[in-house]
Every structure is written in C-alpha cells, then in structure tokens.
Amino acid sequence: MTSTDPAASPGHPATPVDPGWPERFRSLPAVVRLSLYVSLSLVAVLVLGLVTATVLVRQPFPETGGELELVGLDADVTVVRDDAGIPQLYGDSVDDLMRAQGFVHAQERFFEMDVRRHTTSGRLSELFGETTVEVDTFVRTLGWREVAEREIALLEPETRTAFEAYADGVNAYLDQTSTGELALEYSVLGLTGLDYEPEPWTTADSLAWLKAMAWDLRGNMTDEIDRVLALSENSPEQVADIFPEYDARRHRPIVTQGAVVDGVFDQAATGGTRLPTRPAYVASDQALDVLAAVRDRVDRLPAFLGKGDGIGSNSWVVSGDHSSTGQPLLANDPHLGVTMPGIWMQMGLHCRTVSADCPLDVSGFTFSGMPGVVIGHNADIAWGMTNLGPDVTDLYLEKVEGDRWRHDGRLRRLETREEVIEVRGGDDVEVTVRSTAHGPLVSDVSTPPYAEVGALADPDHGDPRPTDGYGVSLAWTALQPAPTADAIMALNTAGDWDEFREAASSFAVPSQNLVYADRDGHIGYQAPGRIPIRKSGNDGRVPAEGWRADDDWTGDFVPFQGLPNVLDPEEGFVVTANQQVIGGDYPYFLTDDWDRGYRAQRIRDLIEAEQDLSISEMSELQLDDRNPMAATLVPYLLDVELPDGYLSDGQELLADWDFGQPADSAAAAYYNVVWRNLLELTFHDDLPEEAWPDGGQRWMAAVEGLLREPDDAWWDDRTTEDDVETRDEILAEAQELAREELTRLHARNPESWRWGHLHRLDLEHQTLGQSDNPVVASLFNRGGWEVGGGGAIVDATSWDAREGYGVTAAPSMRMVVSLGDLDDSRWVNLTGVSGHPFHEHYTDQTDLFVDGETLPWPSSREAVEAAADDTLTLVPAEEEG
C-alpha cells in the first residue's frame, strides 16, 4: 500500500510515499544517519531560502485582474492590459483617470518613482548613505526641488487638479501596500538595516522630474568648457578644426523655408540678419583650473542623473503623398541613457465618452511619477519629440572675493542659502549654496569644495586688483519656474494644429523639436522652448566673463511667435534628428553646437529615395545602421600599406564592406576599433583628459576635415620630440593596434569577429545595480545583448571612445503612428512595462527591441479589448462609517 502526498496539487499525480522508510532509516549506521541529517537540513535551509526569496521577489508584483478599491474615485476605472502588460485605462472623468494612472504607475514602478524624487530633491543619501552625498550636494546647489515647488502656482487650475489627483492615486496605493510589498529593492535595503517608509507623493515630486530631463538634454555646457581647455594648448585655428561649423549644404536643416518678419516667423517669407559676435575670452591658467574641476565634477555624476552629452533622437513625419496609406505617418525614437528599468512606460488614458468635460482619448509613452502622456497620439493628432538642443546654459567665470563677487565695476554680495543633507548611517552634511545674479556657483561642488585658485591680477580685462580666485556659476533657463506641465497636459487633448501650437507655447524646458500630424492629413513642425536672448557679441560658445555687464543675458527670451515652425511643408515631410533647425540668416541665436546632421541627412535621403513609405518601411528606417563616416575614412585606410598577413587581415575586411553595422559584422568590429585607436593617437597628446574625444558626430566632422590635410599638426604626436608623424602613419598604426586589440578581446581569426561581441547592451539598475555586491547587482541588472548600430547612425546605439565599446545611449523607445488607422500603429520600449525584477514584463520588450521588432499599438476600444490579457477594475472605496 502507498499513501499520497497531501501537498500534491489538483490535477497532478500524487507522489507515492513508502510507509516503511522510518525503520530502514533507523537501521542505518549512526555516521550515515548524521550525514543524512546534515544533508537534509541543508536542503531544508536552501528550500526555505528559496521559498523566502520567491516570496520577496513576487510580493511586489501588481494585481492585474479582478477588482480593487481606490479611494477618491467617483466611478469605476477599467485597466485593460495586453500580453506585454501595457495598461489602457478607461474612466468617466479626467480626475478618475489621473487618480487611476497614479495608482497603476505606483503598482509597476514605485521604487523608480521614489528614487527619482529623492534624486531631484537631493535626498538620495537618506536611502544610500555617504556614497551619494556628492550627487545630493550638486542637486541642492542647482535647487531643482525649490524651482519645482515654485512652479505649482504657475500651472493652470485644471493641470494642478490633474497632478493632485495623480498624487492621490499614488498615495492610495501606498496606503494599502507595505514597504516590502512595494518593491524588491526595499526588501534588499531592509537587509542592510534601512528602516524606511515612503512619504506621501506630492505634485512637486512630479514636476521636479522635468528638471532631471532638462539636465540630461541641456545642450552645450560641457562644450563651453572643452573649447577653453582645448585652447590652453592649441591655437584658435586648431580648436576650430575640432569644433567644425555646421555644414548646411551637405546636411539640410529641419525647416528649409521661412523667415522672421516683425518678430513673427512666416514660413513663406525670406531674409533676416544674424546678431554680430565678438572675439571669445581666452581664460587664464587659474580659470582653466576651476573650469577643469567643474568639468570633472559633471563627468562624475551618475548616469541616472543624465550626462547631457551624446544624447540625440530621431523623429520624422511624412504626408499622405509620401505614405502608402494616403495619410500621414509619424516616427519617433528618442535617444537617452540606458537604464533598468527604462525611462518610459507605455499607457493609454481614455474617457469612455469623450466630451468637453472628459476630453482624454490618448495613448503613448509616459514618465512614471507624472500624469498624462508625454509622447504619443490622441484620437485626432500625433506628436513626437527630439532634443532641439538650443544653448540654454551659460557658464560664467566669476571673480569671487570672500562673500562678494565683482560685477560691472563693483562688488556685490553673494546670495546664500543653507541646506542640510541627511545621511543614512552618518552625520548630516551642511551645505552652503552660493549664487551670483547669473546662477549658483557650481564650482563650490567641485573637488576641492571651493576652487581657490590663488591671487590673480587681470589687467587685460579691466581689473588689476587681486581676488580670492575664480568661481563658476551656471545660468540655465530650467532654474527659472515655468509651466511646462501645462504643455504636456494640453498636448494630450489638442485636436488640431492651432491647439497643438497653443500647447507648445507653454513648453519651456527641455526645449524640444515637436513634429506633428493629424487625421485631416496635415503635418507640421514647431520649435518651442525658453531660449535666452544674449547681448550682442555673446554667443555662448565659451564661459562668459561674469564681471562684465555686457555678458549678461538680456532677461528676454526668443518670442514663441518668432520660433521656426511650418505646416504642410513644400517637401511633404519633416525630419528632425538634432540637426540645425534653420539656416544661418535666422535673426535669433539658438546655438552653434548642433548635431552635425549625419543621421538627419541619412533619413532625408532614404525618404526621398523611397517616396512611398509603408508602416513597416518606417520601422525599417529606424533600424538603418550605415556608418556615415565610413564612406569617407575607409578609402584612406585602404590606401595605407600594411605588412601582408596578420596585420593586414583586418584591413582586407574593409575592401567589400557596405558600411553597415549589424551586430554580426566583422568589418564593423574592425572599423570601430580602428576609429577608437585613431582618435587616441591623434588627439590624446594634444588635449587635456577632460576633453578627449568620445568619438561621436562632432569628432566625425572634425576628422573628415583633417583627412584632407595629411601634414596637419593634429596628426603629429607631441610626445615624440624627434619625429613628426603624418596622417598615413597614424592611420597605419591605428589599424595595427586594432588588429592586436581584436585578437586580445575577441579572436585571432578575423572572420570570427562580430561588432555585437564588443558592442553590448547592458541595462544597469539605477541604484542597486551599481552595488559592490555582485549578488545584489545581479538581482536587478540585465545585459549581454549583442546589438548593431552606433554613434551618429540612425540606429543610434552610442558608445564612448573614452570608455570602450559598450552601449552608453540608445533609442529609449520606437514608435510609428499611422494617422490613417491608429490601430495599425506600432511601438516598442527599451525595457518592459514592469519595474519589478523577475517579472515577465521586466525586459520582455528588450528582446523584441534588439531584434528590431515592434508590438501592435491598439487604439480603439475594440482593438484594446481584442488584445486584452488581463482586466482589473478599480472601484470607489466605500466611505468609512
């Protein structure tokens, strides 16, 4: 006879249990029984640990089916999730939808939200201790949280109400969920001794995240410093070589028609005049020291705060004349740093009955922690964004004397405020933030804390008296309160071009290129943003002299009506990829540090060649991996004679290369390693380390020019005093070093090389993924995907030549919207919807993304219901008592 295991699950065969095993066990020798006891005990401990770990991992997973109560709802909200976990919300009022959006965001991503608000308020050290004090000090100095709190009063009443309802939804989830059930991260931190309960969510928590995005997309701040650092050892003419002007003849601007007439941009007008400039200030040695310290400090900020360099995006829209559907198609893929989880979460917000009282019928990409949809479409229009990249930051060299700073011939008192940073497991850190009229002294958070660079006499610039040293302040439009949140909410409900532009007029920072399409067949472009007007002669290319009043900003901004825009352009399409917005005769200064336009021109060329694009062809265009520099550089590389055999094996791969960079390309692997070595050999001896080349689009444009000058001084290695190297010697050495490097990193046989072997996508968790404990890091990080593409390529998986070949920034999502039938639209995220490790939707979209695939994007209620995998109903909570 046998008995059955009572734990056997229904529907599965029971496991037979032998009733005679206790007697047989007792008859075994004692040493054997002890050994078995120990073994069984270890197994029990492992099983118990596994069960406990499984509980800890799974308990934060959201409930996606059935019914849950949500305090404050007036009526039910239905949350329909498809098989990728993407939620579409249906309700009867904007207030209910915002409340439900906050609840669902908290279900999926609350730890991410909590880290974001700690980041933007300079409070990371409360969670992570001394390791983040520098970050907190920098953010407190900039004052992001303070600015966000001041913005609340500027918002339209309906926007403020939406943000409050969203916060109520987040807090309702917090009230019914223990800290350990919110996220695995809290359980791990709890094991390290953190005793923590999240505080309620607020409107300012949401608004402050816009500051982090603005920092990530801030423009040319580091270019300002790098120009000055490069000038320290090179002539102005040489520095001009590595900061080449935008070539509008080869790479067309975004807007190719129109001019400003009486302060208003007219797309049919011609003419205009640029403001004059004056020679740039050349910094003294003391100023170089403090600028280098600021540059180093910015470089050491963590990736999740945003680097602000090498970040671009693609977006384009074609009219029905260029579309196989006969209606517009709009594509967008913003390029941002790669993190785990990704920056976006897909979602839809739908009023069951669309009306003036409940106008939402929108879906797209959202920020967890913020209400509404940032990029996407509603029932009438679609919109996409790329970074416009205007110069909205200026660094000012300030002459600081004690608690005063010099300006316009007199000493003015520095503004100060005190900040206290609470440090987990350590003493509080007191920070004194000092500011001039230009902005906060960011040099105070360089290392050492305040850059005392010694007494300085500066008779050439009108001040012969000694000072304590230089400080560096930051003027930045994002530090002035603005109602950008109004723009996001208004875009969600805009129904035509005029309403779209009205929404865009509130978009202050980060300034974005906005592309547009509507169901009536129109396409368009609008440049929004708060862009400062500088006094004549100050072009923002290098740090300004803070003691000169004529280097101040005027206090005015480029008027919205004067910013470039176009409706139904003559070409029948609009391409934005961070290139120059409009030609050089535009009267307002936007920036001279544009992306050099390689991606933009490639997209234009492919659109013009195809003429009649389908939805799938729009997606294929997003995956184009042709290296724009290779066609120029490869002929020079092939002309260099290398020894036959081992050293020339790699070079032979280039002979029939089509310049594409798929992950399995051996030629692309060799070319990119050559490119990195070429940059090192050419520039490292001529530039301070802070200004070494990252290998991106600016350096491609620079090397293009230098290739035509085989004896240019840049090619010479300054460290070899008796030799003067030329272009071909550097090209030969770069190829020989690349051969050796690939043999070391990959394989001896060139046919085995793969670009993806070097160029891997690794998604690092923003905080715990950087843990020194490899077990902890492995819980949250995911990686090892071999990818194609590269810097300045349409498939923009950027890498940094100063660090290696791994992906540092990538398309954060991809979307194609079909205005002819919104249900035919496609989308994919860099990561999944879920922020919970080990959830099935943590990285499920990454696999699709790497393979170049996209998901269906249902829009109509019928299509959403047909794709439903789970349905959750949020119901009003019963009143107590």
Question: Which tens digits make up the pLDDT trace of 256-287?
Answer: 888 888 778 878 877 544 444 444 445 667 77
Q: Decide if 778 is catalytic.
A: no
Neighbours of 55 (CB within 10 A): 11
| C-beta of residue 283 within 8 angstroms of C-beta of residue 291 | yes
pLDDT digits (tens, 9 = 90+) for 293-302: 888 777 777 6
Decide if 98 contacts 371 (C-beta within 8 A): yes
Q: Could you tell me if residue 253 is inside a domain?
A: no
What is the full DSSP assignment across 349-405? EEESS--SSS--EEEEEE-TTS-S-SEEEESSEEEEEEE-----EEEEEEEEETTEE
Residue 685: strand, helix, or coil = coil
224 is in an annotated binding site: yes
Query: Which phi and psi angles does 839 have, rounded to 5°?
Result: -75, 150
The label of the residue with tokens 């269906």 reads 856
Average pLDDT over residues 341-356: 97
- pLDDT category at 343 given cuts 50, 70, 90 is very high
- Whole-model pTM over 0.85: yes
**How many of the other CB atoms lie within 10 Å of CB of 863?**
18
Model pLDDT, residue 41: 56
pLDDT, residue 1, reads 36
Ramachandran class of 112: left when φ > 0, alpha when ψ lies in -120 to 50, beta otherwise? alpha
Burial class (CB in 10 A: 0-12, 13-18, 19+), 251: buried
Q: Which residue has the tokens 């959830």?
A: 839
Amino acid making up residue 203: T
User: What percentage of the chain has pLDDT greater than the value 70?
Assistant: 88
Q: What is the mean pLDDT of residues 168-193?
A: 95
Residue 447 has pLDDT above 50, yes or no: no
CA distance 533 to 531: 7
**What confidence score (pLDDT) does residue 841 get?**
98
Q: How many Cα neighbours within 13 Å face the side chain of 710? A: 8
**Number of C-beta neighbours around residue 672 at 10 A:** 24
* Confidence bin at 465 (pLDDT 50/70/90): very low
Burial of 605 (0-12, 13-18, 19+ CB in 10 A): middle
pLDDT of residue 653: 97
Query: Is residue 868's pLDDT more than 70?
Result: yes
Domain limits at 783? 630-808
**Could you write out the DSSP letters of every residue in 133-165?**
HHHHHHHHHHTHHHHHHHHGGGS-HHHHHHHHH
672 is a domain residue: yes
CB 443 within 8 A of CB 372: no
Q: What is the pLDDT of residues 121-164, one digit of tens each?
A: 999 999 999 999 999 999 999 999 999 999 999 999 999 999 99
Residue 163 placed within a domain: no
Question: Is residue 3 over pLDDT 80?
Answer: no
Alpha-carbon distance of 697 to 681, in angstroms, equals 18
Q: In angstroms, rounded to a whole number, what is the distance separating the alpha carbons of residues 197 and 220?
A: 39
**pLDDT, mean over the chain:** 89
Q: Where are the alpha helices (DSSP H) in 143-235?
A: 144-151, 157-175, 179-182, 184-191, 203-216, 221-231
> Dihedrals φ, ψ of 238, to 5°?
-65, -40
Share of the chain above pLDDT 90, in %: 76
Measured CA to CA, the distance from residue 318 to residue 384 in angstroms comes to 13
pLDDT at 287: 75
Looking at residue 295, its pLDDT comes to 80
Place of tokens 């107590």: 880
In a domain, 142, yes or no: no
Domain count, the chain: 1
CB 830 within 8 A of CB 811: yes
Backbone angles phi, psi at 616, to 5 degrees: -65, -35
First to last CA, the chain: 59
541 vs 112, residue with greater confidence: 112
Inside any domain, residue 365: no
pLDDT, one tens digit per residue, over 612-641 is 999 999 999 999 999 999 999 999 999 999
Residue at 682 is within a domain = yes
Report yes or no on 314 lying in a domain: no
Among 93, 121, 125, 313, which one carries the catalytic annotation?
A: 313
For residues 400-409, average pLDDT: 93
Query: Would the pLDDT of 676 be above 90?
Result: yes
**Banded pLDDT at 736 (limits 50, 70, 90):** very high
Choose between 461 and 378: higher pLDDT: 378
Report, in angstroms and rounded to the nearest whole number, the Rg of the chain calculated over CA atoms: 29
Q: Is residue 486 part of a domain?
A: no
pLDDT digits (tens, 9 = 90+) for 79-111: 999 999 999 999 999 999 999 999 999 999 999
391 is in an annotated binding site: yes
Indicate the SS3 state at residue 96. helix
Question: What is the reported pLDDT for 376?
Answer: 98
Confidence band (pLDDT; 50, 70, 90) for 47?
A: low
Using CA atoms in the order 432, 150, 471, 410, what is the torsion angle rounded to 10 degrees? -100
Residues 6+ apart with CB under 8 A from 496: 380, 381, 518, 520, 522
φ and ψ of 815, to 5 deg? -145, 150
Lowest mean pLDDT among 268-272, 358-362, 435-439, 681-685: 268-272
Amino acid at 38: V
Mean pLDDT value of segment 338-347: 96
Other beta carbons within 10 Å of 177: 18
Q: What is the CATH number of the domain that holds 787?
A: 1.10.1400.10
Tell me what pLDDT residue 670 has: 98
pLDDT in tens, 814-863: 999 999 999 999 999 999 999 999 999 999 999 999 999 999 999 999 99
Among residues 615, 848, 787, the alpha carbon closest in space to that of 84 is found at 848
pLDDT given at position 560: 96
Indicate the range of 42-46, 558-562, 572-576, 696-700 predicted with least confidence: 42-46
The residues with which 364 forms a beta bridge, in sequence order, are 347, 376
Asked if the model's pLDDT at residue 310 lies above 50, the reply is no
Side chain identity, residue 523: I
